[in-house]
Amino acid sequence: MDKRDELLLDAVEALLVPLARLCVARGLPLAPVDELLKRAFVRAARDARQATGAPGGRDVSQVSIATGLSRREVTRLSAEITPVQPARPSPAGRLYAHWMTSPDYAAPDGQPMALPRSGAAPSFEALAQSITRHVHPRSLLDEMLRLGLVRLSDDGLTVHFEPDRVAPTEDDAQMLGFLGANVGDHLAAATANVIHRDRRHFEQAIYADELSVESAHAIADLVRQQWSRLRAELVPGIERLIAADEAAGRPGRERARIGLFSFHEPESEPLDEQAPPAP
Protein backbone atom coordinates (compact mmCIF):
# COMPACT_ATOMS: atom_id res chain seq x y z
CA MET A 1 0.00 0.00 0.00
CA ASP A 2 1.51 3.34 -1.00
CA LYS A 3 1.49 6.55 1.02
CA ARG A 4 -1.46 8.06 -0.86
CA ASP A 5 -3.61 5.02 -0.08
CA GLU A 6 -2.66 5.27 3.60
CA LEU A 7 -3.61 8.94 3.66
CA LEU A 8 -6.91 8.18 1.93
CA LEU A 9 -7.72 5.42 4.42
CA ASP A 10 -7.02 7.79 7.31
CA ALA A 11 -9.46 10.31 5.79
CA VAL A 12 -12.08 7.60 5.17
CA GLU A 13 -11.82 6.42 8.78
CA ALA A 14 -12.35 9.99 10.01
CA LEU A 15 -15.52 10.14 7.90
CA LEU A 16 -16.82 6.74 8.96
CA VAL A 17 -16.40 7.03 12.73
CA PRO A 18 -19.18 9.66 13.21
CA LEU A 19 -21.43 7.62 10.91
CA ALA A 20 -20.73 4.50 12.93
CA ARG A 21 -21.58 6.38 16.13
CA LEU A 22 -24.98 7.28 14.66
CA CYS A 23 -25.66 3.69 13.60
CA VAL A 24 -24.64 2.27 16.99
CA ALA A 25 -26.72 4.90 18.82
CA ARG A 26 -29.78 3.95 16.73
CA GLY A 27 -29.16 0.19 16.98
CA LEU A 28 -28.38 -0.29 13.30
CA PRO A 29 -25.98 -3.24 12.85
CA LEU A 30 -23.09 -3.45 10.42
CA ALA A 31 -24.63 -5.83 7.87
CA PRO A 32 -27.13 -3.44 6.18
CA VAL A 33 -24.58 -0.62 6.23
CA ASP A 34 -21.98 -2.90 4.63
CA GLU A 35 -24.52 -3.75 1.92
CA LEU A 36 -25.12 -0.04 1.28
CA LEU A 37 -21.37 0.56 1.05
CA LYS A 38 -20.99 -2.18 -1.57
CA ARG A 39 -23.89 -0.75 -3.55
CA ALA A 40 -22.35 2.73 -3.34
CA PHE A 41 -19.07 1.38 -4.72
CA VAL A 42 -20.87 -0.16 -7.69
CA ARG A 43 -22.81 3.05 -8.31
CA ALA A 44 -19.61 5.13 -8.11
CA ALA A 45 -17.78 2.83 -10.52
CA ARG A 46 -20.60 3.03 -13.04
CA ASP A 47 -20.81 6.81 -12.68
CA ALA A 48 -17.04 7.09 -13.24
CA ARG A 49 -17.26 5.00 -16.41
CA GLN A 50 -20.13 7.05 -17.78
CA ALA A 51 -18.24 10.27 -17.02
CA THR A 52 -15.44 9.10 -19.33
CA GLY A 53 -17.90 8.33 -22.11
CA ALA A 54 -17.95 4.57 -21.58
CA PRO A 55 -21.22 2.80 -22.47
CA GLY A 56 -23.80 3.00 -19.72
CA GLY A 57 -24.68 -0.68 -19.88
CA ARG A 58 -23.72 -3.27 -17.31
CA ASP A 59 -19.99 -3.78 -17.88
CA VAL A 60 -19.69 -6.22 -15.01
CA SER A 61 -16.01 -7.05 -15.50
CA GLN A 62 -14.81 -3.44 -15.44
CA VAL A 63 -16.93 -2.57 -12.40
CA SER A 64 -15.68 -5.71 -10.63
CA ILE A 65 -12.06 -4.70 -11.24
CA ALA A 66 -12.68 -1.10 -10.09
CA THR A 67 -14.46 -2.09 -6.86
CA GLY A 68 -12.82 -5.40 -5.91
CA LEU A 69 -16.24 -7.04 -5.72
CA SER A 70 -16.95 -10.33 -7.44
CA ARG A 71 -18.81 -10.34 -10.75
CA ARG A 72 -21.72 -12.08 -9.03
CA GLU A 73 -21.89 -9.37 -6.38
CA VAL A 74 -21.71 -6.63 -9.01
CA THR A 75 -24.57 -8.20 -10.97
CA ARG A 76 -26.71 -8.58 -7.84
CA LEU A 77 -26.04 -5.08 -6.56
CA SER A 78 -26.54 -3.46 -9.97
CA ALA A 79 -30.08 -4.80 -10.06
CA GLU A 80 -30.82 -3.04 -6.75
CA ILE A 81 -29.50 0.39 -7.73
CA THR A 82 -32.13 3.06 -8.26
CA PRO A 83 -31.57 6.69 -9.29
CA VAL A 84 -30.73 8.99 -6.40
CA GLN A 85 -33.30 11.78 -6.14
CA PRO A 86 -31.82 14.93 -4.60
CA ALA A 87 -33.82 16.33 -1.70
CA ARG A 88 -35.87 19.32 -2.77
CA PRO A 89 -36.95 22.09 -0.42
CA SER A 90 -40.48 21.53 0.79
CA PRO A 91 -43.13 24.26 0.42
CA ALA A 92 -43.07 24.60 4.22
CA GLY A 93 -39.30 25.13 4.22
CA ARG A 94 -39.47 27.63 1.36
CA LEU A 95 -42.25 29.59 3.09
CA TYR A 96 -40.29 29.59 6.37
CA ALA A 97 -37.15 30.91 4.63
CA HIS A 98 -39.04 33.60 2.73
CA TRP A 99 -40.92 34.76 5.83
CA MET A 100 -37.65 34.84 7.77
CA THR A 101 -35.79 37.03 5.28
CA SER A 102 -38.32 39.10 3.32
CA PRO A 103 -38.55 42.79 4.35
CA ASP A 104 -42.22 42.69 3.32
CA TYR A 105 -42.90 40.38 6.27
CA ALA A 106 -40.57 41.99 8.81
CA ALA A 107 -41.63 43.81 11.97
CA PRO A 108 -40.05 47.19 12.87
CA ASP A 109 -37.33 45.36 14.84
CA GLY A 110 -36.39 43.37 11.73
CA GLN A 111 -37.80 40.09 13.00
CA PRO A 112 -40.52 38.16 11.11
CA MET A 113 -43.87 39.71 11.98
CA ALA A 114 -46.90 37.81 13.22
CA LEU A 115 -49.38 37.44 10.36
CA PRO A 116 -53.15 37.37 10.17
CA ARG A 117 -54.14 33.85 9.22
CA SER A 118 -56.13 34.97 6.16
CA GLY A 119 -56.78 38.04 4.05
CA ALA A 120 -54.74 40.28 1.78
CA ALA A 121 -50.97 40.60 2.13
CA PRO A 122 -49.32 40.70 4.50
CA SER A 123 -51.09 37.55 5.75
CA PHE A 124 -50.16 33.91 6.08
CA GLU A 125 -52.64 33.03 3.32
CA ALA A 126 -51.08 35.54 0.91
CA LEU A 127 -47.57 34.42 1.82
CA ALA A 128 -48.46 30.75 1.26
CA GLN A 129 -50.00 31.53 -2.13
CA SER A 130 -46.89 33.45 -3.17
CA ILE A 131 -44.79 30.34 -2.48
CA THR A 132 -46.99 27.72 -4.15
CA ARG A 133 -50.40 27.38 -5.76
CA HIS A 134 -50.23 23.60 -5.57
CA VAL A 135 -50.72 23.33 -1.79
CA HIS A 136 -53.69 24.92 -0.02
CA PRO A 137 -52.68 27.50 2.63
CA ARG A 138 -54.58 25.52 5.29
CA SER A 139 -52.61 22.36 4.46
CA LEU A 140 -49.37 24.31 4.52
CA LEU A 141 -50.27 25.81 7.88
CA ASP A 142 -51.08 22.37 9.31
CA GLU A 143 -47.70 21.03 8.16
CA MET A 144 -45.82 23.98 9.64
CA LEU A 145 -47.68 23.58 12.92
CA ARG A 146 -46.76 19.88 12.95
CA LEU A 147 -43.09 20.73 12.42
CA GLY A 148 -43.14 23.45 15.07
CA LEU A 149 -42.18 26.15 12.57
CA VAL A 150 -45.15 28.33 13.55
CA ARG A 151 -47.73 28.63 16.31
CA LEU A 152 -51.26 30.02 16.42
CA SER A 153 -52.57 32.67 18.76
CA ASP A 154 -55.11 31.58 21.36
CA ASP A 155 -57.99 32.71 19.14
CA GLY A 156 -56.48 30.93 16.11
CA LEU A 157 -56.55 34.08 13.96
CA THR A 158 -52.84 34.99 14.00
CA VAL A 159 -49.85 32.91 12.92
CA HIS A 160 -46.59 33.47 14.81
CA PHE A 161 -43.17 32.66 13.39
CA GLU A 162 -41.06 30.29 15.53
CA PRO A 163 -37.35 31.17 15.17
CA ASP A 164 -34.53 28.62 15.02
CA ARG A 165 -36.78 25.68 14.15
CA VAL A 166 -35.40 24.86 10.70
CA ALA A 167 -34.56 21.32 11.84
CA PRO A 168 -37.46 19.93 13.94
CA THR A 169 -35.92 17.86 16.73
CA GLU A 170 -38.91 15.56 17.21
CA ASP A 171 -39.30 14.55 13.56
CA ASP A 172 -36.96 11.69 12.60
CA ALA A 173 -37.78 11.96 8.91
CA GLN A 174 -36.87 15.65 8.89
CA MET A 175 -33.75 15.27 11.04
CA LEU A 176 -32.33 12.32 9.10
CA GLY A 177 -33.32 13.96 5.84
CA PHE A 178 -31.29 17.04 6.81
CA LEU A 179 -28.38 14.80 7.76
CA GLY A 180 -28.31 12.94 4.46
CA ALA A 181 -28.89 16.00 2.28
CA ASN A 182 -26.65 18.52 4.03
CA VAL A 183 -23.72 16.28 4.93
CA GLY A 184 -24.06 14.40 1.65
CA ASP A 185 -23.70 17.57 -0.42
CA HIS A 186 -20.90 18.88 1.82
CA LEU A 187 -18.99 15.63 1.36
CA ALA A 188 -19.72 15.64 -2.39
CA ALA A 189 -18.22 19.15 -2.64
CA ALA A 190 -15.11 18.24 -0.65
CA THR A 191 -14.44 14.97 -2.51
CA ALA A 192 -15.01 16.60 -5.91
CA ASN A 193 -12.37 19.19 -5.03
CA VAL A 194 -9.90 16.41 -4.17
CA ILE A 195 -10.72 14.22 -7.19
CA HIS A 196 -10.46 17.07 -9.69
CA ARG A 197 -7.54 18.83 -7.95
CA ASP A 198 -9.24 22.21 -8.03
CA ARG A 199 -11.54 24.39 -5.94
CA ARG A 200 -14.68 24.14 -8.04
CA HIS A 201 -16.80 24.10 -4.88
CA PHE A 202 -16.38 26.53 -1.99
CA GLU A 203 -15.43 24.50 1.08
CA GLN A 204 -13.48 26.17 3.88
CA ALA A 205 -13.24 25.91 7.66
CA ILE A 206 -11.66 27.68 10.64
CA TYR A 207 -10.10 25.58 13.39
CA ALA A 208 -9.23 26.57 16.96
CA ASP A 209 -8.08 24.54 19.95
CA GLU A 210 -7.08 25.07 23.58
CA LEU A 211 -10.44 26.74 24.19
CA SER A 212 -12.34 26.97 27.43
CA VAL A 213 -15.87 25.58 27.58
CA GLU A 214 -17.14 29.16 27.81
CA SER A 215 -15.26 30.18 24.66
CA ALA A 216 -16.50 27.13 22.75
CA HIS A 217 -20.11 28.02 23.53
CA ALA A 218 -19.46 31.67 22.67
CA ILE A 219 -18.11 30.61 19.27
CA ALA A 220 -21.25 28.56 18.63
CA ASP A 221 -23.37 31.63 19.42
CA LEU A 222 -21.20 33.77 17.12
CA VAL A 223 -21.68 31.28 14.27
CA ARG A 224 -25.47 31.38 14.72
CA GLN A 225 -25.39 35.18 14.52
CA GLN A 226 -23.25 35.10 11.38
CA TRP A 227 -25.54 32.51 9.80
CA SER A 228 -28.57 34.71 10.46
CA ARG A 229 -26.88 37.59 8.65
CA LEU A 230 -25.70 35.40 5.78
CA ARG A 231 -29.11 33.79 5.37
CA ALA A 232 -30.83 37.18 5.36
CA GLU A 233 -28.70 38.18 2.35
CA LEU A 234 -28.63 34.85 0.53
CA VAL A 235 -32.31 33.91 0.45
CA PRO A 236 -33.55 37.12 -1.23
CA GLY A 237 -30.58 37.00 -3.62
CA ILE A 238 -31.33 33.42 -4.62
CA GLU A 239 -35.03 34.24 -5.05
CA ARG A 240 -34.08 37.10 -7.39
CA LEU A 241 -31.87 34.77 -9.45
CA ILE A 242 -34.66 32.20 -9.75
CA ALA A 243 -37.11 34.90 -10.84
CA ALA A 244 -34.59 36.15 -13.44
CA ASP A 245 -34.14 32.61 -14.79
CA GLU A 246 -37.90 32.21 -15.16
CA ALA A 247 -38.29 35.60 -16.83
CA ALA A 248 -35.47 34.82 -19.30
CA GLY A 249 -36.71 31.29 -19.97
CA ARG A 250 -33.39 29.77 -18.95
CA PRO A 251 -33.62 25.99 -18.25
CA GLY A 252 -33.21 25.08 -14.58
CA ARG A 253 -30.84 22.11 -14.60
CA GLU A 254 -28.59 23.08 -11.69
CA ARG A 255 -29.10 22.89 -7.94
CA ALA A 256 -27.14 24.47 -5.10
CA ARG A 257 -26.85 24.08 -1.33
CA ILE A 258 -25.15 26.62 0.93
CA GLY A 259 -24.41 25.75 4.52
CA LEU A 260 -22.48 26.74 7.62
CA PHE A 261 -21.71 24.53 10.59
CA SER A 262 -19.85 24.63 13.89
CA PHE A 263 -18.62 21.78 16.08
CA HIS A 264 -16.84 21.56 19.40
CA GLU A 265 -15.87 18.76 21.75
CA PRO A 266 -13.27 18.12 24.49
CA GLU A 267 -9.78 17.59 23.14
CA SER A 268 -8.40 14.04 23.29
CA GLU A 269 -5.53 13.53 25.68
CA PRO A 270 -2.17 12.70 24.06
CA LEU A 271 -1.40 9.00 24.27
CA ASP A 272 1.57 9.53 26.59
CA GLU A 273 -0.65 11.42 29.06
CA GLN A 274 -3.47 8.90 29.24
CA ALA A 275 -3.77 6.75 32.31
CA PRO A 276 -2.24 3.26 31.92
CA PRO A 277 -4.72 0.36 31.68
CA ALA A 278 -5.75 -1.28 34.92
CA PRO A 279 -3.86 -4.53 35.69
In a domain, 154, yes or no: yes
pLDDT of residue 174: 72
pLDDT at position 57, please?
A: 57
Expressed as residue numbers, the domain containing 58 is 1-84
pLDDT band of 165, cuts 50, 70, 90: low
- Domain membership of residue 72 (yes or no) is yes
Predicted pLDDT at 170 = 58
- Asked if 224 and 93 touch (Cβ cutoff 8 Å), the reply is no
- Whether residues 157 and 129 fall in one domain: yes
Residue at 21 is within a domain: yes
Average pLDDT of the segment spanning 146-175: 80
Question: How confident is the model over 86-94, as a mean pLDDT?
Answer: 78
Better-scored residue on pLDDT, 85 or 19: 19
Give, in order, the Cα–Cα distances in Å from 202 to each of 38, 100, 192: 29, 25, 11
- Rounded to 10 deg, the angle between the 124-131 and 91-101 helix axes is 120
Calpha distance 43→80 (Å, rounded): 10
The average pLDDT across 47-70 equals 84
The verdict on 11 and 77 lying in the same domain is: yes
Confidence of residue 171 (pLDDT cuts 50, 70, 90): low
For the chain, the domain total comes to: 2
In a domain, 207, yes or no: no
Q: Are strands 115-116 and 158-161 parallel, antiparallel or unpaired?
A: antiparallel
Measure the CA angle with vertex 268, ends 264 and 269; round to 5°. Answer: 145
For the chain, the helix, strand and coil percentages under 3-state DSSP, each to the nearest 5:
55, 5, 40
146 lies in a domain?
Answer: yes
In a domain, 137, yes or no: yes
Confidence class for position 199, pLDDT limits 50, 70, 90: confident
The verdict on residue 44 lying in a domain is yes
